[in-house]
């Protein structure tokens, strides 16, 4: 019962972020960072790329919650496509970007930074989006076998998961430290 109340309160706070100018400005800057980081993505094939723009999406979810995280993820995906398209536009990838921001916000918003939380957030995004939804959408888009795409992506995820998780955790610790300096408390604003 009490956990349900905490979750509802966290969603109310997240919804309020849409009405705060500083939150909208911060989310906009994170979206711009997301776009800039996407220029440094290595495209290994039409089915496989390695990048770190997820850090900006995760930071948005951590700082501003799942709702603004989802919005920033979706807007960032559309802007990235307009500026630097790397294949045909497909709405499923925009959905994935929204879902990614939402999931990071769900795990990280208004919660203390813990390694297990960073692992769970990255693992959920990796399993749901990177290993199920992205291969599904790529198989629809390119007409390739889902199992083939999933196998290639599984190998990439096994290699990149520890690296991505370490980067995510380090970034979250840094953001928490900056927030403590600015506000005097790790979770207050």
Q: In the chain, how long is the greatest CA-to-CA distance?
A: 53
112 within some domain: yes
**CATH code of residue 83:** 1.10.1760.20
Strand 48-50 and strand 42-45: pairing?
antiparallel
45 within some domain: yes
For residue 89, what pLDDT is reported? Answer: 92
The residue segments making up the domain with residue 93 are 2-183
CA distances from 184 to 78, 92, 110, 167, 180 (A): 36, 41, 15, 25, 5
The count of domains in the chain is 1
* Of the listed ranges 24-28, 33-37, 129-133, 157-161, the one predicted with least confidence: 157-161
How many Cα atoms within 13 Å fall on the side-chain side of residue 82? 7
Q: What is the mean pLDDT of residues 97-123?
A: 97
Q: What is the mean pLDDT of residues 3-15?
A: 81
Q: What is the C-alpha R_g of the chain?
A: 17
Range among 54-63, 85-94, 158-167, 174-183 rated most confident: 54-63
Retrieve residue 163's tokens: 């690296």
What are the phi and psi torsion angles at 46 (to 5°)?
-65, -15
What are the phi and psi torsion angles at 88 (to 5°)?
-70, 150
115-137 confidence digits (pLDDT tens):
999 999 999 999 999 999 999 99
Q: What is the mean pLDDT of residues 131-150?
A: 90
Question: Residue 126 carries which DSSP code?
Answer: I
Name the residue with tokens 């390119």.
142
Look at residue 76 and tell me whether its pLDDT is greater than 90. Answer: yes
Helix (H) or strand (E) holding 154: helix 146-183
CA distances from 20 to 16, 17, 180 (A): 7, 5, 20
23 within some domain: yes
CA distance 62 to 132: 24
User: For all residues of the chain together, what is the average pLDDT?
Assistant: 89
């Amino acid at each position: 019962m009490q956990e349900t109340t905490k979750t509802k309160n966290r969603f109310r706070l997240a919804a309020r972020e849409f009405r705060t100018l500083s939150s909208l400005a911060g989310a906009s800057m994170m979206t711009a960072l997301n776009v800039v980081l996407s220029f440094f993505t290595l495209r290994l094939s039409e089915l496989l790329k390695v990048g770190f723009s997820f850090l900006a999406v995760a930071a948005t979810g951590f700082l501003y919650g799942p709702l603004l995280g989802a919005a920033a993820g979706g807007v960032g995906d559309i802007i990235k496509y307009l500026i630097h398209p790397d294949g045909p536009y497909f709405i499923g990838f925009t959905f994935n970007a929204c879902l990614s921001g939402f999931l990071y916000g769900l795990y990280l918003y208004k919660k203390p930074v813990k390694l297990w939380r960073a692992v769970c957030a990255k693992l959920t995004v990796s399993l749901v989006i990177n290993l199920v939804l992205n291969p599904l959408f790529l198989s629809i888009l390119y007409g390739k076998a889902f199992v083939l795409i999933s196998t290639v992506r599984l190998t990439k995820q096994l290699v990149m998961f520890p690296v991505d998780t370490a980067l995510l955790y380090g970034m979250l610790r840094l953001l928490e430290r900056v927030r403590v300096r600015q506000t005097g408390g790790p979770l207050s604003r």
